[in-house]
Amino acid sequence: MAQMAHQPTNTKGGSPPVAGFFRTVGRYRWTELFLLIIPSAILLLEMAQLLIINSTPNSQSAAVNIKNLSIGNGLTPILGFVGVLFGVHIIMNIFFRKADQFLLPITGLLTGLGILMMTRLGPDQSPIPIPNLGSHQLLWAILAIALSLVVLALVRKTSILSRYKYIWALVSIAMISPSVFQGVKSLATDAPTRDTLGVGSLSFQPSEIFKVSLVIFFAGYLNDNRDILAQGYFRLGGIRLPPLKQLGPLVLMLFLALLIFLVVRELGLALLIYGIFLSMTYLANGKISYVLVNLGIFLVLGFIGYSLFSYVKARFATVGINMLTWTPHDEYLYEQPGGAEQVVLGLVALSSGGLLGAGLGLGSPFYTPINYSDMVFTSFGEEFGLIGMFAIIGLYLLLVYRGFKIAAEASDPFDKLLAAGLTCIFAIQTFVVAMCNMKFMPLTGIPLPFLSNGGSALLGNFIDIGLLLRISYNTATECEGI
């Protein structure tokens, strides 16, 4: 009986090879793999459509010559980008198997759509075409994805970021200082200044790094002073406020946002920074009174800025234009340099897209000024239609959901605030750009995450993604007790 009961065992105490194989397969990032197939197919089909349209003769009666389409060569950049996404997927399987499986497919699809739109819009720019706009965006996208992996690999413990929160505050000040200096030099012009630094033929937007470093500082500071901020130590009317030592940095952030609005004259960046500040303050202590007081102060000081700068008044006047009852005053606003032309033509583009859109390459988004950056949302609206816009907004909502889910599941309070703050960047930025493009808010100069043209924006966005992936990986590792 003993001989009959004898079964082969693993002498080293490990699992049988078959069980180990199935356990390894079960740990594979299957969700991410399947989700990557969908954006890859969408990108390849859209790129093929764009190549066919660009190769079709202008005469409608002429036949399409398949030999002249060169679809194989034209698909090479998108095939390369898809290959990069699957390469990152393999790296994630080897080194970071427990990280969130939704972030890469979502951001990959959004970034790929941005590359496609830049490829479509570049040659039609007026008065100077930019035929390599898509290839530049592709290069920056690959560099940005690589940077996210570097961040994921190097920042092994996010608590290190919290220890040096005041260093990150200094980094934030250093990043925004050049824009402030440029704004001070051009105060007499009463016009917005762009937060752009030129290095040779390249340009860089320090505000993209500024946003990330500011969120790290906020998360570290609010986490260390959570109890004091929540309790309050002296009254101002019916509101309890923390001691001046803890209140000082919060007032400094209010001053910083106001400085960007009044001196740099970047309404969108000021809204973004202060929106992140209000959101993280509320998430840290749960006191709506802080948010209301700070919002009231910002509105009062913002009204003062509105009274001082004529360009701000002009942008608010643009919001009041009625496209159905065109008046001489509307015509005046439309004709003014930097006036309502951009917004009006963007609305025309959105309306011409209809429900299903004209199709990629079949619309006329080139009539809208700066359609590849400030007004890229209207370009997508014209060629992808209302359904396409809802799909894009849905992707952003899914991205925000995953970011807040990572924040909610994190065990460390600093990680919770950091993940929530990084997610707020995407949420507020998308909300502001979409509202501005649809004329619900004055137009601002901030880019739409992943879709707008610009290497600095892509680098900043994927630094955020790298940090979110690291937080999700650390959380999953801690839950398994490894």
325-361 confidence digits (pLDDT tens): 888 888 888 887 777 888 889 999 999 988 998 888 8
pLDDT for 8: 47
Instruction: State the pLDDT at residue 51.
Output: 84
Asked whether the predicted pLDDT for residue 59 surpasses 70, the reply is no
Question: For position 326, what pLDDT does the model report?
Answer: 84
User: Does residue 268 form part of some domain?
Assistant: yes
CA torsion 419-424-426-428 (nearest 10°) is 180
- The pLDDT tens digits for 207-236 are 888 889 989 998 998 888 776 666 655 565
- The mean pLDDT value for 103-119 works out to 94
User: 479 versus 91: which is more confidently predicted?
Assistant: 91
- 270 within 8 A of 442, measured Cβ to Cβ: no
Burial-class residue 7 by CB neighbours within 10 Å (0-12, 13-18, 19+).
exposed
Does residue 129 lie within any of the structural domains? no
Q: How far apart are CA 270 and CA 63, in angstroms?
A: 53
Total tally of structural domains belonging to the chain: 1
Is residue 194 domain-resident?
A: yes
Considering 160-169, 353-362, 396-405, the range whose residues carry the highest mean pLDDT is 396-405
One-letter-per-residue 3-state SS of the chain: CHHHHCCCCCCCCCCCHHHHHHHHHHCCCHHHHHHHHHHHHHHHHHHHHHHHHHHCCCCCCCCCCHHHCCHHHHCHHHHHHHHHHHHHHHHHHHHCCCCCCCHHHHHHHHHHHHHHHHHHHHHHCCCCCCCCHHHHHHHHHHHHHHHHHHHHHHCCCCHHHHHCHHHHHHHHHHHHHHHHHHHHHCHHHCCCCCCCEEECCEEECHHHHHHHHHHHHHHHHHHHCHHHHHHCCEEECCEEECCHHHHHHHHHHHHHHHHHHHHHCCHHHHHHHHHHHHHHHHHHHCCHHHHHHHHHHHHHHHHHHHHHCHHHHHHHHHHCCCCCCCCHHHHHHHHCCCCCHHHHHHHHHHHHHCCCCCCCCCCCHHHCCCCCCCCHHHHHHHHHHHHHHHHHHHHHHHHHHHHHHHHHHCCCHHHHHHHHHHHHHHHHHHHHHHHHHCCCCCCCCCCCCCCCCCHHHHHHHHHHHHHHHHHHHHHHHHHCCC
Q: Return the pLDDT at 445.
A: 75
pLDDT digits (tens, 9 = 90+) for 251-298: 776 677 777 777 777 777 888 888 888 888 888 877 777 777 778 877
Q: What band does 83 get if pLDDT is binned at 50, 70 and 90?
A: very high
**Closest to 351 in 3D by CA, of 445, 447, 451, 438:** 438
In a domain, residue 408? The reply is: no
**What percent of the chain lies above the pLDDT cut of 70?**
80
User: Of 78-82, 201-205, 364-368, 414-418, where does the model show the most confidence?
Assistant: 414-418
Would you mind telling me the total number of residues written for the chain in this entry? 482
**pLDDT at position 229:** 65
Mean pLDDT of the chain: 81
Res. 140: pLDDT tops 70: yes
Q: Report yes or no on 269 lying in a domain.
A: yes
The answer as to whether 481 is a domain residue is: no
Who wins on pLDDT, 285 or 246?
Answer: 285
pLDDT at 439 over 80: yes
- Looking up tokens 């001046």, which residue turns up? 244
Given this model, what pLDDT does residue 192 score?
60
For residue 26, pLDDT beyond 70: no
> What average pLDDT does range 166-194 have in this prediction?
73
Range 239-255 average pLDDT:
67
Asked whether residue 141 is assigned to any structural domain, the reply reads: no
**Is residue 42 pLDDT above 50, yes or no?**
yes
Average pLDDT estimate for 7-35: 60
Q: Which residue range is the domain that position 206 belongs to?
A: 158-308
Does the pLDDT at position 181 exceed 80? no
Residue 204 maps to a domain: yes
